[in-house]
A and B are shown apart, each in its own frame.
Chain A
Amino acid sequence: ETGVTQSPTHLIKTRGQQVTLRCSSQSGHNTVSWYQQALGQGPQFIFQYYREEENGRGNFPPRFSGLQFPNYSSELNVNALELDDSALYLCASSSTAAKNEQFFGPGTRLTVL
């Protein structure tokens, strides 16, 4: 059984640029959630996708957008990057049978200069 994978591992961008982060969910999982974790803080919920539809969104501006594909993998897109977007971006997947247990990927460390 393959766990949650994310790419890239690290990324450096400059203000105003756009970025796409990718996540492959664990086998058999149909729900993907994205979180932003600033240094020394807990993860903050960005949004969740279930069967290719957005299924909830946290307090993030519209320049944070996402997609889920038929194979349940997912993308997080961030436009017009700001310095405060520098953080660890975590993807988590879960299954319908065990909704309350989320399996996290290793994250993508984004640095905005």
Chain B
Amino acid sequence: GQSLEQPSEVTAVEGAIVQINCTYQTSGFYGLSWYQQHDGGAPTFLSYNALDGLEETGRFSSFLSRSDSYGYLLLQELQMKDSASYFCAVSDQAGTALIFGKGTTLSVSS
């Protein structure tokens, strides 16, 4: 079977740093993506890792360890607008189906 595990909820305050972990068990693996979804909105792409290591995009960074079947999303300098659901997703081939985790709800308070 295919499964992705991520925490269901995370809370933090403005200005803090938060790490959302994702472990996966899938029949094939090509890359790990992260998407953000605000309530009632469309998922939006944040990052993609195909190789081990850290990818940085502004306040957000994503890490992958293929040998550990593990990745994380790091959010720095948290802002209220970062309150949303964050999904990790695995693709088993380039550009094909995304298998999503159940999502992590991040609540940022002042």
Q: Is the CB of B96 within 8 A of A43?
A: no
**Residues of B38-78 whose CB lies within 8 A of A:** 41-45, 48, 50
Q: Is the CB of A42 within 8 A of B42?
A: no
Interface size class of A (residues with CB under 8 A): 20 to 34
**Residues of A46-66 whose CB lies within 8 A of B:** 48, 55-56, 58
User: Are A107 and B42 CB-contacts (below 8 A) given A41-B103, A100-B48?
Assistant: yes
Interface size on B, residues (CB 8 A): 24
Expressed in whole angstroms, the Cα–Cα distance for A110 and B91 within the complex equals 26
Q: Which 10 A-B pairs have the closest CB atoms?
A: A99-B95, A42-B100, A104-B42, A45-B97, A100-B48, A104-B43, A101-B45, A99-B94, A106-B42, A43-B100
Q: Is the CB of B102 within 8 A of A42?
A: yes
